[in-house]
Chains A and B, each alone.
Chain A
Amino acid sequence: MPRLNRRALLYLALLLMALAVPLYGNVYYTRFATQIAIYGMAALSVDLLLGYVGLITFGQAAFVGVGAYVTGMLTVAGIDDALIVWPAAMLVAVAFALVIGALSLRTEGFQFIMVTLAFAQMVYYIAQSLRSYGGDNGFTLGGRDALAGMSLANHTVFYYVVLALLVAVMAIAFRVVGSEFGMVIRGRRDNERRLAAIGFPPFAYKYAAFLIAAAIAGLSGALMANHSSFVSPAILSWQVSGQLLAMVILGSPGTLIGPVFGAAIYLVFQQVLSDYTDHWMIFFGPLLVARVLFIKEGVWGLLLRACGAHEVPAPGAVAPDRGAAE
């Protein structure tokens, strides 16, 4: 079977599996799958920057958190129409990204990592200072939003809405990276100077990708706030930004679907281990180190290889050094 068809079949099988989760009949699994889909969307936004533009952002939690806070604030204020609240969450996340991106994209490499981390921490402190919204303790929403009059309180309904949004975001992201714009940003990942030399201003393209990623992260934040009906500064902590990067790496960067797998692995790992021990991080930390030091490929890459659906590089092609785009 041609590799491309195998991959299409794989996508179809995965989608069917995702659709079938609520049929299992256990609300716990439906909620867990919802969580995976939401974190997967946030990780996908990191992958857009990491895998395609070559930008290592350590501050994506800022936009997730802004989306969650906007959603929480509007919902508490009585505005609970998802068609208003969620786009508003995305817009405010993009507004933050307009400022943070304009400043952080002036830097590159090592500094970009530190600057995105620092600005995310700033947003964290702002959230912490919101005393009327519980300060450090956060606040509860009192319920989920309604989508065009339809209540999302039912876990199965909410799961399908989240899944539909994830598929839609992924489809849009695939369109974006496959477009001419996508070719330009991948060109910037592989060699920014040459890209500039042939007449594409790298900053404008990086900035645009940064804003798109922030919008996706903002949406995932809105869903996160709805999922748990609770928002606190913890959602903005620097560990969350690190976890999102870890998910992308576990899954396979530069694939858009891999990060969703990475999110699943991360959350399953957390769930299984925390049954045995409160100290699961003591295992996850070294696992992350081992993944970086010893394993060259993420899970999605391994899965494609196992199904014979991986891309065979053209003879003489040089794989770009992931992330080290300078």
Chain B
Amino acid sequence: MTFALFVVQLFNGVQFGMMLFLMAVGVTLVFGIMRVINLAHGSLFMVGGYFLVESYQDTGSYWLAVPLALAGVIAVAAVLEILVLRPLYDRGHLDQVLATFGLTLFFNEAVVVIWGRVPLDLNVPSFLNGHVAIFSGVNYPVYRLAITAVAMVCGGLLYFVIAHTRLGALIRAGSDKREIVAALGVNIGLLYTAVFALGAALAGLAGMMTGPLLSVESGMGDPILILTLVVIVIGGAGSVRGALVGALLVGVLDTFSRVMLPRLFGLSAGTALVGMADYVLMAGVLVYSRTGLFAAHRG
């Protein structure tokens, strides 16, 4: 592997990792604060992609389409939280898993009814087309750099919100002792809806940005969701810092194993090993610590 290829793959890995981070934030916050495991988070990722396709077709401008699609995802998330998630807060994990699994089935089919089974293409915005030289002789797609930048800005904003605002203080307090927060007179229902919508917006954004890299189709959120769960097991459930570390670890490992393992072990064995790499990392972390690297909660 040349140094140039190494750098390019490292950039790809960080980009994929930041994408996973945007997904993982929502799942880990919803778990940390509401104690709900939300398997429908992959659907919000997918809905984000579809909404962007639709709003771009209608407006013809990404500057209008992205905020519109984001507003749509947030609206869907708020309805979901109020109708389905809220009654689940006091239930066992089994009820939560099954109900949110049911939602996933619904969304995967609903997008087929609305937009058809054929995968939709989403083009890279023209101003992000092309390549840029990251150092002499090595070109890198501008779009991927932009994704990494947007995700990093989101991460920075999230840090600011959680560490320095009233909402953030409530989120931190809520993930420690939600009953006390409610007892202090905070409208905990509104806080829950806000946290859920925040996580959904990040997932939707991830789905929108992934659209041009893959294609927008039914079930596109499912593999990402499962990888997100791996990230959370590695990072520790409920911890945003753990989500960041876990996401970067998985993103970089996943990218490098795709490049390296087929070269090292041949095409067929290598491909099988690629599929295993992320999960072997997860197994290794579980052997080291049952609750992940930065666990905020147990169980």
Q: Which residues of A contact B31 (CB under 8 A)?
A: 110
In the complex, A124→B109 CA distance in Å?
A: 22
A103–B110 CB distance below 8 A: no
Q: Which residues of B contact A321 (CB under 8 A)?
A: 92
Q: Are A286 and B93 CB-contacts (below 8 A) given A114-B233, A118-B226, A126-B275?
A: no
Q: Are A118 and B282 CB-contacts (below 8 A) given A106-B290, A126-B276, A129-B272?
A: yes
> Count of A residues near B, CB < 8 Å?
51
- Does B112 lie at the interface of the complex (its beta carbon under 8 Å from any beta carbon of A)? yes
Q: Which residues of A contact B101 (CB under 8 A)?
A: 242, 245-246, 288
Q: Which residues of B contact A191 (CB under 8 A)?
A: none
Q: Which residues of B contact A280 (CB under 8 A)?
A: 109
B224-240 interface with A by 8 A CB criterion: 226, 229-230, 232-233, 237
**Shortest distance in angstroms between B291's beta carbon and chain A's nearest beta carbon?**
7
- Binary contact track B91-112/A, C-beta < 8 Å → 1, others 0: 1111101110111111111101
A129–B93 CB distance below 8 A: no
Q: Are A324 and B92 CB-contacts (below 8 A) given A114-B233, A118-B279, A281-B109?
A: yes
Q: Which residues of B contact A114 (CB under 8 A)?
A: 37, 229-230, 232-233
B299–A282 CB distance below 8 A: no
Contact of B97 among A56, A285, A293, A326 (CB under 8 A): A56
**Shortest distance in angstroms between B279's beta carbon and chain A's nearest beta carbon?**
4
In the complex, A109→B295 CA distance in Å?
A: 14
Q: Which residues of A contact B299 (CB under 8 A)?
A: 108-111, 326
- Does A308 lie at the interface of the complex (its beta carbon under 8 Å from any beta carbon of B)? no
- Does A238 lie at the interface of the complex (its beta carbon under 8 Å from any beta carbon of B)? yes
A131–B268 CB distance below 8 A: yes
In the complex, A107→B232 CA distance in Å?
A: 13
> Count of B residues near A, CB < 8 Å?
50
**Shortest distance in angstroms between A120's beta carbon and chain B's nearest beta carbon?**
9
- Binary contact track A215-257/B, C-beta < 8 Å → 1, others 0: 0000000000000000000000011001001100100000000
In the complex, A218→B275 CA distance in Å?
A: 22
Q: Which residues of A contact B272 (CB under 8 A)?
A: 125-126, 129-130
In the complex, A286→B103 CA distance in Å?
A: 7
In the complex, A103→B107 CA distance in Å?
A: 32
B63-98 interface with A by 8 A CB criterion: 84, 87-88, 91-95, 97-98
- Does A117 lie at the interface of the complex (its beta carbon under 8 Å from any beta carbon of B)? yes
Q: Which residues of A contact B290 (CB under 8 A)?
A: 106-107, 111
- Does B133 lie at the interface of the complex (its beta carbon under 8 Å from any beta carbon of A)? no
- Does B113 lie at the interface of the complex (its beta carbon under 8 Å from any beta carbon of A)? yes
Q: Which residues of A contact B233 (CB under 8 A)?
A: 107, 111, 114-115, 118
Contact of A292 among B99, B106, B226 (CB under 8 A): B99
Q: Are A288 and B102 CB-contacts (below 8 A) given A106-B290, A115-B233, A119-B279?
A: yes
B279–A121 CB distance below 8 A: yes
B84–A282 CB distance below 8 A: no
Q: Which residues of B contact A119 (CB under 8 A)?
A: 279, 283
A288–B275 CB distance below 8 A: no
B206-261 interface with A by 8 A CB criterion: 222-223, 226, 229-230, 232-233, 237
Q: Are A122 and B275 CB-contacts (below 8 A) given A107-B290, A285-B105?
A: yes
CB nearest to B284 among chain A residues:
A103
Q: Which residues of B contact A50 (CB under 8 A)?
A: 94
Contact of B109 among A129, A285, A323 (CB under 8 A): A285
Contact of A246 among B98, B286, B291, B292 (CB under 8 A): B98
Q: Which residues of A contact B292 (CB under 8 A)?
A: 111
- Does B287 lie at the interface of the complex (its beta carbon under 8 Å from any beta carbon of A)? yes
Contact of A113 among B93, B108, B112 (CB under 8 A): B93
A289–B226 CB distance below 8 A: no
In the complex, A284→B113 CA distance in Å?
A: 14
Q: Which residues of A contact B106 (CB under 8 A)?
A: 281-282, 285-286, 289
Contact of B113 among A111, A122, A245, A279 (CB under 8 A): A279
- Does A128 lie at the interface of the complex (its beta carbon under 8 Å from any beta carbon of B)? yes
**Shortest distance in angstroms between B78's beta carbon and chain A's nearest beta carbon?**
17
B237–A111 CB distance below 8 A: yes
Known: A113-B93, A279-B109, A281-B108. 4 other contacts (CB 8 A): A113-B97, A282-B110, A285-B106, A324-B94
Q: What are the 5 closest A-B residue pairs judged by CB atoms, nearest first?
A: A125-B275, A324-B92, A323-B94, A285-B106, A288-B102
| 22 residue pairs from A and B, CB less than 8 Å apart | A107-B291, A108-B298, A110-B299, A111-B290, A117-B229, A122-B278, A122-B279, A126-B275, A126-B276, A245-B101, A249-B98, A285-B104, A285-B105, A285-B106, A286-B106, A288-B101, A289-B103, A291-B98, A292-B91, A292-B98, A322-B94, A324-B94
* Chain B interfacial positions (CB closer than 8 Å to A): 31, 37, 84, 87-88, 91-95, 97-99, 101-110, 112-113, 222-223, 226, 229-230, 232-233, 237, 268, 271-272, 274-276, 278-279, 282-283, 286-287, 290-292, 298-299
* Chain A interfacial positions (CB closer than 8 Å to B): 50, 56, 58, 103-104, 106-111, 113-115, 117-119, 121-122, 124-126, 128-132, 238-239, 242, 245-246, 249, 279-282, 284-289, 291-293, 321-324, 326
